[in-house]
Amino acid sequence: MRTLALLTVGALFAPCASAEIEASLDLRLVQSSGRDSFLDGGLGKLRFDRDDEGVQLGRARLAWRDSIGGNWHASVDLSAWSLDDHHAIDITEGWLEWRPVPTSAWRSNLKIGAFYPPISLEHRAGGWTNPYTISSSALNTWVGEELRTIGVAYGLDHLGIAAGGRWDFGAHAAVFGWNDPAGIILALRGFSLNDRQTPLFGRIGSYAFGGREQRVLFSEIDNRAGYHAGAYARSDLGLELRALRYDNRADPAVYKASISDYAWRTRFDSLGARYDGANGLAIIAQWLDGTTDATPDPTNHWKFETSFVLVAREFGRHRLAARYDDFKVWMPGQPAADDYGHAWTVGWTLQLRRNLEVAAEWLQVDSDSGNRAALGEPTEARERSVQLALRYSL
């Protein structure tokens, strides 16, 4: 994985006057009643817990994009989420892409590096950012926490609308490695709702059978490649449909001592629909269902499912959004390990200037986690947070 990352970062030093640089700073004012945060190894569902109230760093980001010759392009995203992280500044995505100019309605591209699988219908802003609410849905929070395609992906699109038709459609297939630990956070903590993306060389705190550990999420353990494949269709009336199948093909019997973890065999299906209408109307619905297994013990088998619906609309410089999430992680036959719940989120954004905006969010999560008993906590929790963000970008 380091070779892929260094290859992409090396492109930063290629001299080219057409390079695009993006920089942004997100500062927060936070009030929270959350349990101990997952970042500290707790079982809270929020990024900021009751010990994090006051001014916080939401994110500092620096991104570079450029054409590096012919039909090749490169991109690197660097972010800082907290000065207390394992690496204060780290890479969230970095890739090289072959994207030839289409000569017909068909377009193809080849991407190599580290990037997100095309699952989220929320994250349409730069740096894989959600423009509707500060915190992402439980589904896409997990994508940002545990998933990254570190490998190669090929996509083929038919641009039917530009050619006078009613539909665009396309498909992709990817082969990847270094995502064998995916699934561990769901199994040990369950779903969360937040905006933090795990960087490629970073770690994430997790509950661990009564203890607290820092987990490595992007590592190759069994030397077996995984894959994901998907398709989409988009109409000229604003409707988009998307489907994806993911399987990291990990061997749960293989252990890696350097990260103190087994490979986690994680498989899931994802379906989504999005409608974009007049006045900035956006309606998004997504669903994800899968399983994860670890260690040679067949009873270490978890199932997970989550879905959400989001509605947003613009009113001049203002945008209002509301979302409902439902989520569950369970071990068949072991109800004491179940983790389930639901959440309501309301968000507001005001565009003060082209590069300056204010965002506010109210979030309430009701959950029941059996693992909280091992920490001496009630299994049921109602956690609320209010965040006010000031975002400046260049």
pLDDT digits (tens, 9 = 90+) for 172-195: 999 999 999 999 999 989 999 999
Tell me: pLDDT of 303 over 80: yes
Tell me: pLDDT of 8 over 60: no
CA 314, 316, 322: angle at the middle one, nearest 5? 25
Decide: helix, strand or coil at residue 210.
coil
| pLDDT confidence tier of residue 13, bands split at 50, 70 and 90 | very low
Report pLDDT for 345: 98
Report pLDDT for 40: 80
Global pTM value:
0.94
Tell me: pLDDT of 365 over 80: yes
User: Mean pLDDT for the chain?
Assistant: 93
Average pLDDT over residues 329-354: 95
Report pLDDT for 2: 52
Average pLDDT over residues 136-162: 97
Residue 314 has which token pair?
């613009």
Report pLDDT for 50: 92
Query: Which CATH topology does 2-393 take?
Result: Porin (2.40.160)
Tell me: pLDDT of 96 over 60: yes
**CA 265 to CA 80: how far, in whole Å?**
30
Average pLDDT over residues 288-316: 97
Residue type present at position 2: R
Report pLDDT for 1: 61
Spatial CA neighbour of 340 closest among 312, 310, 309, 302: 302
Tell me: pLDDT of 318 over 70: yes
74: CB partners within 8 A, 6+ apart: 8, 11, 14, 64, 65, 66, 68, 95, 96, 97
Report pLDDT for 7: 45
**CA 46 to CA 44: how far, in whole Å?**
6
**CA 36 to CA 377: how far, in whole Å?**
10
Average pLDDT over residues 223-242: 98
Average pLDDT over residues 141-169: 96
Q: What is the pLDDT of residues 24-75, one digit of tens each?
A: 999 999 999 999 888 887 899 999 999 999 999 999 999 999 999 889 999 9
Tokens 């070779």 found at? 3
| pLDDT confidence tier of residue 4, bands split at 50, 70 and 90 | very low
Domain regions of the chain by residue span: 2-393
CA neighbours closer than 13 Å in the CB half-sphere of residue 318 = 6
Average pLDDT over residues 356-376: 94
Q: Encode burial over 157-175: b for 16+ CB neighbours within 10 A, e otherwise.
A: bbbbeeeeeeebbbebebe
Average pLDDT over residues 208-213: 61
Decide: helix, strand or coil at residue 52.
helix
Residue 48 has which token pair?
């900021």
Question: Phi and psi for 145 in degrees, rounded to 5?
Answer: -80, -45
**CA 330 to CA 186: how far, in whole Å?**
10
Which has the minimum average pLDDT: 34-38, 97-101, 329-333?
A: 34-38
